[in-house]
Chain A
Amino acid sequence: MTAFRGLGLLLAGLLLTACSTTGGNPQANDPYEQTNRDIFDFDMRLDRHVLLPTAEVYRDVVPEVARDGVHNVLLNLNSPVVFANDLLQGEATRGGETLARFVLNSTIGIGGLIDIAAKIGIPYHDEDFGQTLGVWGAVEGPYMVMPFFGPSNPRDLVGSGVDIAFDPNTYISYNYKFYWSLGRGVFSILDMRSRTIDTLAGIERGSVDYYASVRSLYRQNRANEIANGKQDVTDLPDF
């Protein structure tokens, strides 16, 4: 309960300081940069020695069709969270799409293994409570790098906590729940990393400052996600 009260206070604080910063091109907003860089270095070492080699084995050993199936199942399992946030953002049509995707993919798509919905023109879209807070006007707060989990900010941290509450898996009891949840977590990480091996290597190789690059990419991308891809282009910087 204390954790929830803490989240509530943080949430209230974010909303109180809310202003319209959901678009545009934010400057670094990184008051804890040195700490963040230290954690980033730790995350990078972990990536190089554990995560990347594991993801490479996963990519090289598991056939693509199986990896795609895992990816689709993971997206499908996230549907309740996306659906709840669609509705909280007042996006009824997108909520309908998420619901339709979940029903189609869970049934005809064999428990989410095949993304039938995308094939008939209802592609996946992501939502989370961090984005919902952004839509409601909460500021992102200072940039933060989390041990193990990478880029974030207070708004997205609160969001990820609340999203756990939107996931039915949090409430349902069943046998071997611990192992299922752990497996889901492990495959989420493997799926994410194995799909970005070449891309991240390319970005790192072409980076003058990889930390600053990831920070900019994360913050711009989150602003775009909050705007559902419809960013205001009238306030772009002058060249």
Chain B
Amino acid sequence: MTDMPSAVVAPVSFGRRALLALAFLVALPFAFAPSPAAAANPAETFVDQNVQKGLAILTNRSLSDPQRKMQFRNFLLSLIDLDRVALFTLGPARRTATDAEKAQFVDAFREFAVSIYESRLSAFSGQTLKVTGSQPTGRGDTIVKTTLVDPNASSNQPLPVSFRVSNSDGKQVVIDVNVLGVWLAIEERDQFSSFLGDHGNSVAALIAHLKDLTAQMRAGAPLPGQK
């Protein structure tokens, strides 16, 4: 009989782990700070410099909200190869989509991704990222590891955030970001695959849905049940 409450606790714990892991995802794009350590290789230097660049935009008090949004947008577009990320997230549908669909999808994805960050800009409250090292992948890219430092967090548990840095036409770009083991572009691809599976692999339907979501995000519509 006395097992009952323990049984309640135990299954909750694995749901909790997943949820706690997500707890930091949203804080991610605002986590930019200067790193005191000298970066050891070009990919680390690249991440370190961009961390400082992003922080400069977020902490610049002379910017109006629209100016900050615009600067942050340009910063993201120069930092992340969103075209490449977009096509990756399309998954197997990339092979069957027409060139026109792919172009429209890339545009819709870009606005969708930027709108997610825009909607959370106000949540920035001094979080910082410190570069801690890097590791090559088997694909010629480099994983740059950082740790999130949140001055407001009550726990001292380090939160790992990694960037997958790749070369696009000789220029360094970020193509994926990992928070607590979750690669965000892979997660996005998994969602899109599921959506496409439910909608007869219609890329047009996905584009329309992304545009709707972007509009909702920009309008700041609350979720059901949310205050």
Q: Could you tell me which A residues sit within 8 Å of B by CB distance?
A: 25, 27-28, 47-49, 52-53, 56, 64, 68, 71, 78, 115, 118-119, 123-124, 126, 128, 130, 146, 148-152, 156-157, 159-161, 163-164, 167, 169-170, 173, 177-178, 180-182, 184-185, 188-189, 191-193, 195-196, 198-209, 211-218, 220-225, 227, 229, 231, 233-239
Q: Is the CB of B14 within 8 A of A130?
A: yes
Q: B95 at the A/B interface (Cβ < 8 Å)?
A: no
Query: In the bound complex, what is the Cα–Cα distance between A8 and B139 (angstroms)?
Result: 41
Q: Is the CB of A212 within 8 A of B181?
A: no
Q: Is the CB of B187 within 8 A of A213?
A: yes
Q: B223 at the A/B interface (Cβ < 8 Å)?
A: yes
Q: Is the CB of A236 within 8 A of B138?
A: yes
Question: What is the number of residues of chain B that contact chain A, defined by CB distance less than 8 Å?
Answer: 77
Q: CB-nearest residue of chain B relative to A48?
A: B225
Q: Is the CB of B213 within 8 A of A208?
A: yes
Q: Is the CB of A237 within 8 A of B193?
A: no
Q: Is the CB of B226 within 8 A of A201?
A: yes
**Inside 8 A of A64's CB, which chain B residues have their CB?**
154
Q: Could you tell me which B residues sit within 8 Å of A by CB distance?
A: 1-27, 84-85, 87-88, 116, 119-120, 123, 135, 137-139, 141, 143, 154-158, 160, 164, 166, 175-176, 180-183, 185-188, 190-195, 198, 206, 209-210, 213, 216-217, 223-227
Query: In the bound complex, what is the Cα–Cα distance between A177 and B198 (angstroms)?
Result: 48
Q: Is the CB of A217 within 8 A of B13?
A: no
In order of increasing CB-CB distance, the 7 nearest A-B pairs are: A224-B181, A181-B5, A48-B225, A212-B194, A234-B138, A185-B8, A150-B15
Q: Is the CB of B18 within 8 A of A216?
A: no
Query: In the bound complex, what is the Cα–Cα distance between A209 and B224 (angstroms)?
Result: 15
If the complex has contacts A151-B18, A199-B22, A224-B181, are A128 and B213 also in contact, measured as CB distance less than 8 A?
no
Query: In the bound complex, what is the Cα–Cα distance between A171 and B175 (angstroms)?
Result: 50
**Inside 8 A of A220's CB, which chain B residues have their CB?**
181-183, 186-187
Query: In the bound complex, what is the Cα–Cα distance between A181 and B5 (angstroms)?
Result: 5
**B166–chain A nearest beta-carbon distance, Å:** 7
Q: CB-nearest residue of chain B relative to A145?
A: B15
